[in-house]
Amino acid sequence: MKNIKVVWFGVGLILLAAVVIASTLFLINHFLSGDSKAKQPAAVQCTSKGTAHIVTIQNEEANPKHTNGKLCDTLTITDNDNKVLLIAFGPHDDHQPYDGITEQDLKQGQSLTVTLNQAGTYDFHDHIGDVIQGDFTVTK
């Protein structure tokens, strides 16, 4: 009988430890993290388009690497390499949507266009190779 009490006491401790660990992870992920997704400004509704900015990817390089734009401008990223790219917004492995797009495949000659509807500085990269990188800054 004494062995059964010891076993149940051990099981209780394991369950308590699991609850404490799960609660800690929940708090970190939902309230204490410096999650940049929560800090993104709200998207504005653009009724007309501004300046068209173009980024060309060739020889595994984005040209230009940095683009400055204003709210309601557009940014077009064109794949001129001879391979498929997976263009993603945000840092590698922490993709964040921009203009409703988190990532998109581009074959040679294809383009991706987003409306610059959120102020701030944002990264994009080729998720497959993670060599091609660039960013853009959007101001009011």
Bridge-based pairing state of the strands 52-58 and 74-79:
parallel
- For range 118-125, the mean pLDDT: 94
Taking phi over 0 as left and psi of -120 to 50 as alpha, with beta for the rest, 59 belongs to: left
pTM to 2 decimal places? 0.70
**CB count in 10 Å sphere of residue 79:** 22
Q: Mind listing the pLDDT tens digit for each residue in 41-99?
A: 788 888 888 999 999 999 999 999 999 999 999 999 999 999 999 999 998 888 999 99
Retrieve residue 52's tokens: 């068209």
Torsion of the alpha carbons at 121, 108, 48 and 89, rounded to the nearest 10: -30
- Per-residue burial over 10-29, b = 16 or more CB atoms within 10 Å of its CB, e = otherwise: eeeeeeeeeeeeeeeeeeee
Percent of the chain with pLDDT strictly greater than 70: 75
Retrieve residue 24's tokens: 């800690």
